[in-house]
């Protein structure tokens, strides 16, 4: 009779990381651009994936929330092969209708959506403002919330006075 070894190796957990996605909303062009993110394996910095999604500004809250969740789950860890990074290669900018980087940064409000911890069950939505006062808003919501609630939450931030009026 053979006796099995009492020593065994505990399986390593899969790598868990905090995911994120960037959302750009333009009232001028009446569109929303959702950019999934890669995290570089070597440098640890984040950068936008080449394929972004575009929605009309009047899209239903449910569709906005669903699209954000789908793109949030496209987050991946991948080595960035590009040696040189030009702002003109910015995937969200290339998908936009704006002709200049300055115009893009002026007419598209940027929101960062990221997980709170490595399980990504709670999402934090932050405004990234370009105004002089540097006032930013942050809100949290469950990843498992109704898609409509997520869509409403991001549109409430977009329509807030701080984001809406950059000349306060």
pLDDT digits (tens, 9 = 90+) for 112-139: 999 999 899 999 999 987 655 667 889 9
Read off the pTM: 0.84
Residue 8 has pLDDT above 60, yes or no: no
Report the CATH number at residue 126.
Answer: 3.40.1590.10
In a domain, residue 44? The reply is yes
Is 2 part of any domain? no
Sequence-distant (6+) residues with CB within 8 A of 156 are none
Residue 1 within any structural domain of the chain: no
Look up the domain containing 144 and give its range.
Answer: 20-164
Rounded to 5 degrees, φ, ψ at 153 are -60, -45
Question: Quick check: helix, strand or coil at residue 78?
Answer: coil
Give a yes or no: residue 136 inside a domain: yes
* Separation of alpha carbons 72 and 7, rounded Å: 40
| Residues 6 or more apart in contact with residue 46 via CB below 8 angstroms | 20, 37, 38, 39, 40
Instruction: Work out the pLDDT band at 95, boundaries 50, 70, 90.
Output: very high
Give a yes or no: residue 60 inside a domain. Answer: yes
At 9, is the pLDDT very low, low, confident or very high (cuts 50, 70, 90)? low
Backbone angles phi, psi at 106, to 5 degrees: -80, -45
| Number of compact structural domains in the chain | 1
- Arithmetic mean of pLDDT over the chain: 85
89 token code pair: 């290669």
DSSP 8-state symbol, 70: H
Query: Rounded CA gap, 80 and 99, in Å?
Result: 26
Whether residue 14 lies inside any domain: the answer is: no
Is 7 domain-assigned? no
Domain membership of residue 6 (yes or no) is no
């Amino acid at each position: 009779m053979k006796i099995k070894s009492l020593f065994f190796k505990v399986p390593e957990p899969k790598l868990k990381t905090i995911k994120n996605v960037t959302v750009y909303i333009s009232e001028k062009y009446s569109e929303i651009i959702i950019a999934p993110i890669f995290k570089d394996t070597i440098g640890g910095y984040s950068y936008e994936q080449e394929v972004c999604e575009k929605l009309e500004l009047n899209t239903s809250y449910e569709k906005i929330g669903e699209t954000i969740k789908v793109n949030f789950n496209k987050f991946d860890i991948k080595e960035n092969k590009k040696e040189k990074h030009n702002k003109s290669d910015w995937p969200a900018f290339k998908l936009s209708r704006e002709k200049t980087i300055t115009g893009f940064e002026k007419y598209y409000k940027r929101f960062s959506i990221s997980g709170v911890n490595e399980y990504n069950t709670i999402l934090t939505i932050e405004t990234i403002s370009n105004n002089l006062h540097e006032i930013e808003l942050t809100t949290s919501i469950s990843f498992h919330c109704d898609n409509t609630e997520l869509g409403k939450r991001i549109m409430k931030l977009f329509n807030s006075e701080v984001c809406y009026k950059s000349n306060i």
